[in-house]
Structures are given as structure tokens and as C-alpha cells.
Amino acid sequence: MPSAFRDGLVELIPNLRAFARSLCGDRDLADDLVQETLLKAWHKSDSFQPGTNLRAWLFVILRNQYYSLGRRRGREVEDPDGEMVGSLTAPAGQEGSVAMGELRRAMRRLPAEQREAIVLVGAGGFRYEEAAAVVGCAVGTMKSRVSRARRTLARAIGPEDAAAVAPARTARTALPRPPGGGPADRPGLMMQKPDTP
């Protein structure tokens, strides 16, 4: 067992616990899920490819473990209490507690797929591509889920607070326009390569 793999597992335990809590909403069950995830990862360490994303690999194992548990129990926990969000912040004053309570309530009201997406991208720091791989959906689907979750949170708690939960992952840069404007200024006009002699 390479020490880098072992160290990576230990380093990611807090992230795994936070993700597990966001899925199931129960601290004890989350700890059990993390323990099972670490055991499976340890036993399957030979299937992990060094140089790939250990965090994403572990999140996939944890997520699969959670859904397998739900199937075994004949039900799936639909509405976690948002403890994960609280575990990622420092204690605040009274206003912070009120705002955090509003955020937890708003997160509980999100559909499970949107809540999972916003937790992975917003709180977990995953890129859209990584989050889509963890969940097993298309990148566009992940972007849509995060976007819908942001809109719902913005309506519930205000746009500034929602942006703090899951800031946009794309940056737009302004490119200089050619003289006379660009294709966006003239609908239907396509940019063409100039003829070369």
C-alpha cells in the first residue's frame, strides 16, 4: 500500500464525512458510510490508478454505498438536515445563525439531485466535470442541476447568499470586437477565415 494513497485517504476523511452527511442527514449513518467507503477503498486500492482524482473516486464509492444502503433498507432518505453546510462554516454571530438556519431549510427543500449537485460543486469544490463523473450524469445535466439549485436558493434566501453557497464556476472574458462589431452584433453572420493567396 503506497503511503501517498494512505495519506490521501486520511486527508479526505473530513470531505467524505461532509458529503455523507449531505446525503443522509444523520451523523451516525454518515460516519458508517465513510467507514465503509474507506474499507472498500482500502481493499480495492489496486484498482485505483495513481495520478487520477482520488477524491472523485472516493466520492463515487461513498455515493454508491449510500444508494446501496437505501435499496437494502427499501427506502431512501429524501431530506437531510443540511448539517454539511454548517460543518463547513465557522460559528457566527446571531445574524449568521439565522442566515444559516434559512440556508439549511432552503437546502432541505431542494430536490435530492439538485441538493447533491450544489453540495458537490458549491461546497465540495468539484468542477462540473468531476461532479458529473461522481454522480454518473452528463456535464450539461450537472450544470443544469446546479443552476436550478442556485435559482431556488436565491429565491429562498436572496441572491447574494445563494452565490456564496455555489459561486459560478465559469468566467467570461471580454474579447476585443473587430471594427464594425462582431458576429453577435450582426445575427446570421458567421466569421470566416480570410482568403490567403
Residues 46-70: tens digit of each pLDDT: 888 888 889 989 999 998 888 888 7
What pLDDT, on the 0 to 100 scale, is given for residue 58? 93
Q: Is 195's pLDDT higher than 50?
A: no
What domains does the chain contain, in order, with CATH numbers? Answer: 1-77 (1.10.1740.10), 91-168 (1.10.10.10)
pTM for the structure as a whole = 0.50
Percent of the chain having pLDDT more than 70? 64
Region 10-34 average pLDDT: 88
Q: How many other CB atoms sit within 10 Å of the CB of residue 120?
A: 27
What pLDDT, on the 0 to 100 scale, is given for residue 73? 65
Q: Is 27's pLDDT higher than 90?
A: no
What pLDDT, on the 0 to 100 scale, is given for residue 181? 42
